[in-house]
Amino acid sequence: MYNKVYITNKQNTVKIPTGIRILIRRSCNAVLEQEGFHDPAEISVTFVDNKEIAELNGQYRDKPVETDVLSFPLGSDGEYDTNNETGAKMLGDIVISMEKAQEQANIYGHTLQREVAFLTVHSMLHLLGYDHVNGGLEEVHMREKEEQVLTKLGLTRTIAYTPDAEI
């Protein structure tokens, strides 16, 4: 199956660890496999710093503060535009603040790689239509799916998840 993950680094604050691009591709593919998404897909992942993600968060969500990751789905209700050249479904864009990812990795006591994989899986689920803004079962369901993928990738949690944890 043809899945293309475009990865761009637009920051120089955090050194990109060796193997992170492969891990991101594996994370994207693991989510697609778990969710039974069998069409070829295209995803864009961009690394930025806190300043740029705060600007994007302000521009698109009216929240001009730094955050760890933003998801920009290109489809809705399982319908996606198709790249005419490749036939791939264009799922959307993932923007990760590498500064925030490093901070959170330090807080949670795990590697930057694990944090970036978590943020990628989390965003991929958003690109496929999952949400957690209303909390409750919707949020629990999304967290369960995240953990299933991360476990499959060999990246289990090092701390227990609590519903009020800022993630």
> Total domain count for the chain?
1
In a domain, 166, yes or no: no
Of 42-46, 83-87, 100-104, minimum mean pLDDT range: 83-87
Q: Is residue 165, in this structure, part of any structural domain at all?
A: no
* Chain mean pLDDT for the chain: 91
What would the mean pLDDT of 73-101 be, rounded to a whole number? 93
Q: What is the CATH number of the domain that holds 93?
A: 3.40.390.30
Measured in degrees and rounded to the nearest 5, phi and psi for residue 104 equal -70, -35
Q: Has residue 84 been placed in a domain?
A: yes
Give the per-residue pLDDT at 166.
45
Sheet with 89-97, side-by-side order of all strands: 3-9, 41-48, 89-97, 69-73
Terminal Cα distance for the chain, rounded: 32
Residue 164: pLDDT band with limits 50, 70, 90: very low
Whether the pLDDT of residue 163 is over 60: the answer is: no
pLDDT of residue 75: 83
Whether residue 158 is contained in a domain is answered as no
118-122 mean pLDDT? 97
Q: What is the pLDDT of residue 165?
A: 44
Task: Specify if 80 maps to a domain.
Answer: yes
Domain membership of residue 101 (yes or no) is yes
- Is 27 inside a domain boundary? yes
Q: Is 123 exposed, middle or buried (0-12, 13-18, 19+ CB in 10 A)?
A: buried
Q: Which domain holds residue 136?
A: 3-152
Over residues 2-20, mean pLDDT: 95
Any domain includes 41: yes
> pTM, whole model, 2 decimals?
0.91
Summarised one tens digit per residue, pLDDT across range 129-162 is: 998 777 788 889 999 999 999 999 999 765 544 4
